[in-house]
Amino acid sequence: MAAFSVWQLLANLTRNAASQRKFDALLMADSASGSAPAAQSAGGAEADQKAERVARLFEQYPEMAGWLSIEDTKLDYPVMHTPDKPNYYLRRDLQSEYDAYGVPYLNESCNLQDSDNLIIYGHSIDNGDVFGSLLRYSEEEYFREHPVIQLYTRDGLRQYTVLGAFITDVTPGTGDGFAYNDFVRADSKTAYDTFVSEVRARAYYQTDTQAAYGDQLLTLSTCEYTLPDGRFVVVAVRTE
């Protein structure tokens, strides 16, 4: 049993490393020239350089809705969107082959332009890959160090500031559960404000981030294992 456990651990580590290399390679090579990108410079020039490389990936992967990143963290991944194929990238890579990592993907009901809440799902990997690092948002200090989430889209870079982070049980019929992933469009200001209030009430800590009706929200969702069917959720509001 011990030998099998060690083998399984090594197999998982190897598989995880192989999956991560696929993502790392996407932005490391200039798809137009086939060469490595120039050394990154600070500030806006670095963002412009990244935006150019992401723009080429949109051409290469038509189902890519955006590129999600949080500076100085491991979270730096494409976001796929298949409205007619829900959860398609849950266990598939960019070539539609099986991959335990999957690829982060946008809820099929969401629309980048007019949804009040963009919901993106990703796996939580033990070593912090994919959405694994999101769990650090349970710490207020981590939020203070990483308040902004970036989403590169075909229309340009969007920035969202974290509103709150919480866990919830999505088991059907759970009395205290929060159906955060049902909120895509607000029927009214009241509905929007109610959702924001629920996020604040469940949050690990309070932030100064403000969200007003009409401001687009961004919700990142991943698995959480202290609850029967737990989810760790980070909600942010568009600020730029």
What does each of the 240 residues of the chain score in pLDDT, given as a tens digit? 444 343 333 344 455 566 777 787 787 754 444 433 333 334 567 778 888 999 999 999 999 999 999 999 999 999 999 999 999 999 999 999 999 899 999 999 999 999 999 999 999 998 889 999 999 999 999 999 999 999 999 999 999 999 999 999 998 876 678 999 999 999 999 999 999 999 999 999 999 999 999 999 999 999 999 999 999 999 999 998
In angstroms, rounded to a whole number, what is the distance separating the alpha carbons of residues 86 and 227?
Answer: 24
Asked whether the beta carbons of 131 and 124 are under 8 A apart, the reply is: yes
- The residue range of the domain holding 74 is 62-238
* 8 lies in some domain: no
Q: Say which amino acid occupies 32.
A: A
* 51 lies in some domain: no
* 7 lies in some domain: no
* 148 lies in some domain: yes
Q: Say which amino acid occupies 128.
A: G
**pLDDT value for 35:** 36
- Our separate counts of H helices and E strands in the chain read 4, 8
In angstroms, rounded to a whole number, what is the distance separating the alpha carbons of residues 149 and 104?
Answer: 14
* 204 lies in some domain: yes
**pLDDT value for 45:** 74
* 26 lies in some domain: no
3-state secondary structure of 93: coil
In angstroms, rounded to a whole number, what is the distance separating the alpha carbons of residues 139 and 141?
Answer: 5
**pLDDT value for 40:** 37
The domain that contains 87 carries what CATH number? Answer: 2.40.260.10
**pLDDT value for 237:** 98
* 213 lies in some domain: yes
Q: How many domains does the chain have?
A: 1
* 233 lies in some domain: yes
**pLDDT value for 18:** 67
**pLDDT value for 70:** 97
